[in-house]
A and B are shown apart, each in its own frame.
Chain A
Amino acid sequence: MNTLKSLLLAALVTVSLTGPALAQQKSDPDNPEANATWQQMRSVMFQDRAITTPADAVLTLEAPERAQDAAIVPISIRTHVEQRPDRYIERVYLMIDNNPSPMGATFHFAPTSGRADIETRVRIDAYTHVRAIAEMNTGELYMATRFVKASGGCSAPPGKDMSAAMASLGKMRFRVEGEVEPGKPALAQLMISHPNNSGLVMDQLTRMYTPAYFVRRIQVSYAGEPVLSADVDFSISENPNFRFYFVPTGEGELKAEVIDTNDLRFETVVKVGAGT
């Protein structure tokens, strides 16, 4: 994302945070276009470029119809295009229209990613459309949307145990799932222990909002080649969790680097060999 876009998006987020802490946008379940935040994001990010939707041949989005736990809503983006050097999905944007920060994540892929699928968990409080937008290296845009109803009951997006989350800050788990076959996309899971909080909390003594504290960047490489990088924010749930693909070629190291908003860096490595 270029700097201008980043600035404009940051301004958008600020707008939706002023006044009440929550964005109170109207959404029509049957019309994903009819949302003011989306229209603003669309014009900042993509101007008047065409966006094909639905685009089931390129990508699909799975999300529960209702956010069962507003703090942990599983999201699965599946792509159906082979990552070839001449034509591949370069970016996948995950947007949640009515979240305080609607631009939840930008995932960057390479041909060496194998597949541009991603699974994660997000916070959702308000009724909202969730969007996954794939941008090809050749510039075409494809979008999948799902409408998610807010959770009922006493569920809320903040984490469940803030002191415990801080105590285990930076602990990571990284593993490859299933059999590894050289040349075939293999699934990996990265888990990061982090409160990943929004900071939208007023300190009762100072009347100041506590600063947001979240994982902002993730970089994954395999044998020195990029697999996935992601710009993420506090729309991602506490203890950020990602499942994605890479293509093992034999012996090699799968390495993840994580940077949070305090510029703390965490790193973890899995050795990948045939048969692991």
Chain B
Amino acid sequence: MPPRACALRRSIAALALAWAGVCVANPAIEPLPVEEIAPGVHVHAGHHATWPGARGDAVEGDVANLGFVVGDRCVAVIDTGGSPQLGQRLLAAIERATAQPVCFVINTHVHPDHTLGNAAFAALEPRPRFVGHARLKASLAARAPFYREALARDLGVTSGEADIVFPDLEVERTTELDLGGRRLMLQAWPTAHTDNDLSVLDDASATLFAGDLLFVGHLPVIDGRLIGWLEVMERLLTVDARRVVPGHGAPTTDWRAALDKQRHYLAGVRDGIRGALADKRTIADAVETLAGTGTNGWLLTEDFHRRNLTAAYAELEWED
């Protein structure tokens, strides 16, 4: 925490001890590097790697883009990182950038690289609202035990049940959040990347946080419904945004081209699997046949392409 914020807080005599505790505790936590991509809009760039990575490596759960938007009244966090420790480091970065309190913690979807830092914010006073898609809670409840196990197995993080923080403000369709002087427009989407994708549009800077509805560089990952995702991408094209922060990869003003590249890959998976189904290939055979195709220009294809083909097959075999 910077001296300014500490001095300000320490001047409140009644809270001096409590705040001193915060100020003493924080220097041990290295703030995550963030970039202010527009006034009041800060982004931390995750590594192009699979979550959670390994203990002691450069990744340690840090694979998703994380952001925060600073208003006149308070701050909204958009995704919190792939471990409780990353959440702490994001909080440290926020406290270095602003003295405004965090009032909203938004999760763009269930995946652990976006949600497992939530715990760092649950201890704040006053407690921020945790915001997610109306289906986030059920999905997180179903997956939390597996995420915790991966944290323990790969990062050596023994994470308690309290480390999974569920939304208390659920978005069915759209919601607006007022940060003072700027509003965030939240939109809950039909099943696409997952069944609980939520996008966040900052009206002041026309920045869209797309979550994993858009991947840049990192191969897109299907964990919801391929056909639904292609439909949602058509609707995303109509959003009036100047720049987009993808869930993975660099923020871009040329985001329609990025969507187009993603559509090209996903449509290729769809067409390849439809062809394999028409040829009466089994799921294992279809995956092997298509494993070497359609991934030019993408990263992490070894980690995710076969998986996408598998998921796409299980979805598309039900098509009429």
| Bound-state Cα–Cα, A71 to B315, Å | 12
Q: Does B47 contact A (CB under 8 A)?
A: no
- B195 and A160 contacting across the interface, CB-CB below 8 Å: yes
For B85, list chain A residues within 8 Å (CB): none
The answer to whether B282 and A160 touch across the interface, beta carbons within 8 angstroms, is no
- The listed residue (A74, A154, A193, A237) touching B282 by CB distance below 8 A is A74
A154 near B113 (CB under 8 angstroms)? Answer: yes
**Does B284 lie within 8 Å of A76, measured CB to CB?**
yes
Cβ B135 vs Cβ A163 within 8 A? yes
What's the nearest-Cβ distance from chain A to residue B135, in Å? 7
Binds A, one of B14-22, B91-99, B137-145, B179-187: B137-145
**Is B283 at the interface (CB under 8 A from chain A)?**
yes
Q: Considering the chains assembled together, what is the distance between the CA atoms of A154 and B247 in angstroms?
A: 13
A178 surroundings in chain B (CB, below 8 A) = 280
Instruction: Provide the A78-121 mask, 1 if CB < 8 A to any CB of B, else 0.
Output: 00000000000000000000000000000000000000000101
CB contact under 8 A between A152 and B50, given known A119-B282, A121-B283, A158-B139: yes
Residues on A with C-beta less than 8 A from B51 are 153-154
Chain B residues, Cβ within 8 Å of A125: 146, 149
A153 to B318, CA, bound (A): 26
Cβ-closest chain B residue relative to A198: B142
CB contacts under 8 Å to A, within B120-152, are 135, 137-139, 141-143, 145-147, 149
State in angstroms the CA–CA spacing of A153 and B49 once bound together. Answer: 9
Residues in A neighbouring B191, C-beta threshold 8 A: 160-161, 164
A160 touches B223 (CB 8 A): yes
The residue that B225 contacts in the complex, of A154, A160, A191, A201, with Cβ under 8 A, is: A160
A60 near B: Cβ within 8 Å? no
In chain B, residues 207-264, which have Cβ atoms closer than 8 Å to a Cβ of chain A?
221, 223-225
Residues on the A chain within 8 Å of B72, using CB: none
Bound state CA distance, A237 and B141, in angstroms?
18
In chain A between 104 and 157, which residues have their CB closer than 8 angstroms to a CB of chain B?
A: 119, 121, 125-126, 151-157
Please state if B304 and A153 are interface contacts (CB–CB under 8 Å).
yes
What chain A residues lie within 8 Å of B282 (beta carbons)?
74, 76, 119, 243
Q: What is the CA–CA distance of A204 and B132 in the complex, to the nearest angstrom?
A: 15
Interface stretch, picked from A62-70, A211-219, A249-257, is A62-70
Interface positions of A (Cβ within 8 A of B) = 20-22, 24, 62, 64, 68-72, 74, 76, 119, 121, 125-126, 151-158, 160-164, 173, 177-178, 191, 193, 197, 200-204, 237, 239, 241, 243
> Residues on B close to A: CB < 8 A?
50-51, 111-113, 135, 137-139, 141-143, 145-147, 149, 166, 191, 194-195, 221, 223-225, 280, 282-284, 287, 303-304, 306-307, 309-311, 314, 317-318
User: Which 8 pairs show the lowest CB-CB distances between chains A and B?
Assistant: A158-B142, A68-B307, A154-B111, A156-B146, A161-B195, A21-B145, A74-B284, A153-B50
Q: A74-B287, A76-B282 are in contact. List 15 more A-B contacts (CB 8 A).
A: A68-B309, A70-B146, A74-B282, A74-B310, A125-B146, A153-B50, A161-B195, A161-B224, A161-B225, A173-B318, A178-B280, A203-B141, A239-B318, A241-B314, A243-B282
Instruction: Please name 19 pairs of A and B residues whose Cβ atoms are closer than 8 Å in the assembled complex, sorted by A.
Output: A24-B149, A72-B283, A76-B284, A119-B282, A126-B149, A153-B304, A154-B111, A156-B142, A156-B146, A156-B147, A160-B191, A162-B142, A163-B195, A178-B280, A191-B317, A200-B145, A201-B138, A239-B318, A243-B282
